[in-house]
Amino acid sequence: MTPLAERLRPSTLDNYIGQRHLVGPGAPLRRMIEQKRVSSFILWGPPGVGKTTLASIVARAIDVPFYTLSAVQSGVKDVRDTIEKAEKNRFFQQASPILFIDEIHRFSKSQQDSLLAAVERGTVTLIGATTENPSFEIIRPLLSRCQVYTLQSLSRDELLQLLRQAIDGDPMLKERGVIVEEDEALLRFSGGDARKLLNILDLLSASAQSEGPITINNEAVTTQLQQNPLAYDKQGEMHYDIISAFIKSIRGSDPQAALYWMARMIEGGEKPEFIARRLVISASEDIGLANPNALLLANAAFDAVHKLGWPEGRIPLAEATVYLATSPKSNSAYKGIGAALEEVRRTGNLPVPLHLRNAPTQLMAELGYSDGYLYPHDYPGNFTTQQYLPDSLQDAVFWLPCRNAQEDRMAERQKVLWPDRDKK
């Protein structure tokens, strides 16, 4: 039997649900279709939001041949054969055939290279679909020839619209009759994925008694699925979104949000070492000199995870997360090394001042290596003024302290040690 998702696949924009920013009145894809002038583009979004459907609607609307390849099953030869077929079947002055590649992010560099010439010449109009960030997965020359359109998970209202469309529009469901007593579990397990919602309906329909209407309620959905509804692909875009939210919550001093996003990662099956590593990075980048103990605690949490294993390892990770989120913040060291690296790239290999060079041989000593170096420990307070930067950069400033108790003390000491530098 044909799955419900396939039976309900829309053929026009009038029946297409969601992505109003792309297909609504005056939106870019709708204008393309209305003008029958389609250029190559990539549809980027989570599973089940209508990427494949949208590509077929575009091809049908402008009435051109439509070729489909799956990046999972196709090689370079398949790409070249399809392009050759498209070129032979193209009529004079007709718009270019559409080549739709599902999961284009799975294409290797050589496979993506094989598309370049055909896309550039207009032999085919490429429509790619991907769940991964095109910036990371699509080669730059191909990406520069395609517009990227981002698709969003379906909202609650859009999922309910789809549910009503299925109940009223599918002949099989209409014949059986569907009673919706509760929809919370159905929407939660769907997770913004239209295909998943329709597959759940299919499952409920198959498991229901042969006579009488199909009843949808929270218990029926949960009993049938018996699965974790959390969407978290450790190799996918959701992975990067959640770790980004975790780090930004720590940076923003919100321990409640930081613990929530860490819990999402834990429940999604993320490796504890990955979480611990991000805590060490955050302690260095975002807390930094405002609280140097943060790095010590983050490292201790990393070690504890290795010693304790899982699930106990979640406790030191939570401790470190709360400590980092509630600590004062400073990125002065992070910005300082960035400024220094930028200067090195700009100025190249500037010579080390002679008095700072090592003189392990007699010849080097005769050439003046280390001559004039002042050993700080020979002076009161273990400090004396001398030049440490290259000649052309002797007045450069890379580290600028942030305003917090720890760095205020450090900055005050620097003013005492280097009063002339502070005035420049």
Q: Which letter does DSSP use for residue 139 in this model?
A: -
Of 274, 308, 326, which residue sits at a domain end? 326
C-alpha torsion 56→57→61→65, nearest 10: 0
Q: ω into residue 171 within 30 of 0, thus cis?
A: no
The count of other CB atoms within 10 Å of the CB of residue 287 is 26
Does the residue 377 lie in any domain?
yes
- Note whether 133 and 25 are same-domain residues: yes
118 and 39 inside one domain: yes
* 140 and 26 co-located in one domain: yes
The reply to whether 278 and 257 lie within a common domain is: yes
29 shares its domain with 146: yes
Q: Is residue 5 part of a domain?
A: no
Domain-embedded: residue 387: yes
CA 123 to chain centre: 32
The DSSP H or E segment spanning 179 is strand 178-180
pLDDT of residue 295: 92
Distance CA 268, CA 72 (A): 25
Give the CATH number, domain containing residue 183: 1.10.8.60
Please check whether residues 36 and 139 belong to one and the same domain: yes
pTM for the model stands at 0.58
Q: What is the DSSP string of 268-284?
A: TT--HHHHHHHHHHHII
Give the CA distances from residue 3 to residues 6, 7, 13, 347, in Å, rounded to whole numbers and listed in that order.
Answer: 5, 6, 21, 64
Q: 302 in a domain, yes or no?
A: yes
Given 3-state DSSP classes, what are the helix, strand and coil percentages for the chain, each rounded to the nearest 5? 60, 5, 35
In this structure, the answer to whether residues 344 and 290 fall within a common structural domain is no
The helix (run of H) or strand (run of E) holding residue 69 is strand 66-70
| Domain identity same for 409 and 293 | no
Return the pLDDT at 232: 47
- 351 and 283 fall within a common domain: no
Domain ranges, residue 220: 156-225
Is 414 part of any domain? yes
Domain stops at, among 260, 291, 326: 326
Strand ranges of the sheet holding 98-102, from the earlier edge strand across to the other edge = 66-70, 98-102, 125-130, 41-44, 147-150
Number of domains in the chain: 4
The tens-digit pLDDT sequence of the chain (424 residues) is 688 888 889 888 888 999 999 999 889 999 988 888 888 999 998 888 999 899 889 888 888 888 888 877 777 888 888 888 888 776 655 678 888 998 888 888 888 888 888 888 888 889 999 988 888 788 888 998 999 999 998 999 999 999 999 998 888 888 888 888 988 888 888 888 898 899 888 888 887 766 778 888 888 888 877 654 454 444 454 566 788 889 998 998 888 888 988 888 887 777 888 889 889 999 998 998 888 889 999 999 998 988 888 788 889 999 999 999 999 898 888 888 888 888 888 887 788 788 777 776 777 677 777 777 888 888 888 888 888 788 888 888 888 788 888 878 888 888 888 887 755 5
Residue 368 sits in a domain whose CATH number is 1.10.3710.10
Give the number of other CB atoms < 10 A from CB of residue 37.
Answer: 11
Distance CA 264, CA 242 (A): 8
Q: In this structure, what is the dihedral angle of CA atoms 368, 370, 372, 375, given to the nearest 10 degrees?
A: -170
Tell me if 197 is assigned to some domain: yes
Coil/strand/helix, residue 43: strand
Is residue 311, in this structure, part of any structural domain at all?
A: yes
Q: 303 and 403: one domain?
A: no
The answer as to whether 4 is a domain residue is no
- What was the pLDDT predicted at 374? 83
Domain boundary among 225, 260, 285: 225
Asked if 51 and 124 sit in the same domain, the reply is yes
- 30/120 same-domain check: yes
Q: What CATH number should be reported for the domain holding residue 277?
A: 1.20.272.10
Report which DSSP code applies to 202. Answer: H
Q: How far is Cα 400 from Cα 413, in angstroms, rounded to an integer? A: 13
